[in-house]
Each structure stands twice: as structure tokens, then as C-alpha cells.
Structure 1
């Protein structure tokens, strides 16, 4: 694609090219290329390796950590019902965070060189190459960096003994989110609920990209008015 005198070469590493698109970046990144083979991001093999993650790595790394945090609250004397409540609240908090990040950060409008570059790394690459199976989940190193401020925030809004279980619930919500996201792109659901969720998410990618920001649920889209209209509703207008 040519934009402002610049051509993106899909056969070369993309990350440091996309910034040159300027104001045309938003149009370019929302024209998906449906291929299971993802593009190369960097010349460096090391940095390229850090951008690729198998889906099963997420539960393998984070579920033991979830268990450790929850066990800390148990060791501090909380009963199982209290622990269960804290975990459920943590999962609920994650669903709101999932929606908020997707709507306001992942879909932020950019046009500067570094703005486009950072957006492409964060989420633009997923909209450009939505079937890239190795870039559907968040790299563990990046998640670990974000966990520290989030845990400190949880400690501010809860008691010392409740904070680990609450954070563990939030982290569990994240694991469910990332695994679900992968499944919605590459799984073949047969039951009604996952089939509808897959349809809902792919609608966000290929039809109405400025609505439908929920991944694991559409509840916050309903609450905040970003629920996409159905095709039948559009035809009846």
C-alpha cells in the first residue's frame, strides 16, 4: 500500500515500516490479511522470538502463579467461601479491565511515527494479521511487567490478606481471556455459547471494528453502548 509516498513491503520486517504511514496507518491496519502465516516483525532473531508465543504457554506459566497467590490468602486465615468470593470479584474486575484496555488503549487513534509503531506492536498487528497464531496471546515477559503495578493497585484497594486472592482472581481472568481469544480465532466450537462468542469477536475484526470490544463476554459492551448492531437490524433500517 502506498501512503504519503511510502510503500509498506510485506516481505520485510514490518515494525519499523508502519510508522511512516502517518495518517494513513489507521486505514491500512484495519484492512486484514487473512493468513495463518504471520509477518516478520524485526530483523533481529532475538526480538522476533520475543514477539511469538504459543497459546499453551499462558496457562502453563500463569496458573501456578494464580494458585500461589490464592494460597497466600488461605494461609492468612480466610475461609474458602471468602476466597471464592475474592476470586470471583477479581475475575469480574479483569473483565472490565479487558474491555477498557481494548476499547481505549488498543484502539487508540495514532498518526505519528512512534505512535503508529507502538500501536502496531500492541494491537495493530493483530487486526492486520488476525489469524497469526503465534501473536494471539500476550508475551509472558510483557505480562510480568504489567503485573507489578496492578498488584500494587490491588493492595491499595483491599486488605493485606484479601489482596493475593483478589489479584489471583484477576490473573485467572486474564488467563481465561487469552486462551479464549486464541480459541475464538482457531477453534471450531460446536455448542451455542462459544459459537456465538466466536461470531461476535470475528464481527469485530471483519465488520464493525469500532464496536464489540469484549472478548470473554459482551456484558460491558451492553453496559457502555458499544454492542454492534446485527445484520438484520441494519437491513431493516
Structure 2
């Protein structure tokens, strides 16, 4: 029924939900029924269940969760800036498909929901590697479970706000508007900045934050992340998987338009 309703409202492109054509209600339906998000919810509940089963004291559990809340934006920033926007993955044949899936496709067409969400095969191990050692060091099994559950919960929050930032919708709250504007600049003006999703503290710390299109020049690689047609000739594996040369802007984009 949900799929039929979504198709009838023409928010699918043929292979993915198109956030540029969706309203907030449609996003909620798509988000809350999306398999990746449901998997995160289920794993988070299991993690918190293990936390309760192995619970000894509130203090290490709370410290584990707060540590993840503190560390998560910094880790996300590092992954986003140095791995997702790095150029080494597409230059190796066996990692080219990974890079294409985890970020290139998203920048080629930022409105497609299917490539906005990371693949669970990549995201879940990463969340586990980041959170479980922190939690275990602080609170052993209960702390590890609490930390992993917190990481999954934060990821769900990140993903929802990430959807909002690409949605055909103007948020009513000023702080969400600012968040969305900064992320839109990252996708449509210059990709070498504003790496945060819900927080830009790391961007400020590491001088990659900018507030408007006047603050830095427009990047010629904002949609292809440097994987242009010359690079595709040298390293053809991503292009072969895509079935076409890389685009310097997504379908329907106005090349003369600056992000605002």
C-alpha cells in the first residue's frame, strides 16, 4: 500500500525515491519503512537489551553513551573528509565499487534516497569499530552494548536530518534551516567544506566551514569529487560500474546556478 501511494505521487525516479519531489509527510513514510533504518532500529533495541541484561551500574553506561555522542561528530568528519572525499579508493580496482556506493553516487545525484543512506554492510561494521571499544573500555559488556546502541541511534538521527537537507521542504526552525543551507553548499557549491551533517563544530575547528557562496569559489568538482572524465580514462572501474562517464552536475541542475 505504501509503495503504491508513493508511486502514485510520482516521487520515484525509477530506481530510488527522489527527495527533490517529496514533502515532509512522504519522507516520514519512506524513512520509517526503509529497510536500512528498520535494521538500525532493530540492532539498537537489541543492543540496549544486552545493556540491560549485563547492567551493573548507571555511571559507566552513561559515560559510554556520552563519549559516543562526543566522539561521533569528529569521527564522521574524519571519515567524510579524508575517506569519502579522498581519491585513493577509486584508483584501486577492488575498492572502486565501495567508493562509488558510499559517496560518489550521492554527489552525482544528491536527491536519491537509495544512495543517501549508506550500505549496512559498510556502516554497521564502522559504527561497531568506533563505538564498541570505547564502551567496553569504560563499562565492559554493558558499556559496549550501550555505546553501540547509541551509535546506531545517532546514525538514525543523522540520516533523517540528512534527508531533510535534500528534501523539497523549508524547515520551520531556524537552526535546521542553517544546517540545511550549509549542507546544500557542500553539495552544490564547494565540496571541500561543510562536511558535518547535524554539527559543524569539527568544520570550524579544522577550518573547513563556510557560510555562503561568497565565502569561497565554486568548485568544478562539486558533483564528481574529482572523478572527472580524464580521471575516468585513467581509472575506469567506477565509470564501468556506472555505465556512463561521470557527470559534472546532476540531471536537471542549472550550471549557472550558485547555491545559496
CA 1:217 to 1:149, structure 2 compared with 1: closer, same or farther past 3 Å? closer
Q: Deviations over 1:146-181 (max 9, x none)?
A: 455445533563331322212221221111112211
Q: Deviations over 1:82-133 (max 9, x none)?
A: 5444323212222112111100100002463625544222211111111112
Matched, 1:128 2:104: no
- Output the TM-score relative to the length of structure 2: 0.61
- Output the TM-score relative to the length of structure 1: 0.66
Unaligned runs of 5+ in 1: 1-34, 41-53
1:218 paired residue number: 200
What is the number of residues matched between the two proteins?
A: 187
Matched, 1:37 2:13: yes
1:63 paired residue number: 41
CA 1:230 to 1:162, structure 2 compared with 1: closer, same or farther past 3 Å? same
Q: CA RMSD in A?
A: 3.0
Unaligned runs of 5+ in 2: 1-10, 17-29, 218-260
1:16 paired residue number: none
Match of 2:91 among 82, 95, 112: 112
1:184 paired residue number: 165
CA 1:93 to 1:127, structure 2 compared with 1: closer, same or farther past 3 Å? same
Question: Mean Cα displacement is larger for which, 164-173 or 226-235?
Answer: 226-235
In 2, distance between residues paired with 1:155 and 1:91? 12
Offset at residue 192 of structure 1 (A): 0.6
Indicate the structure whose relative CO is greater, using CA pairs within 8 Å and at least 6 residues apart: 1
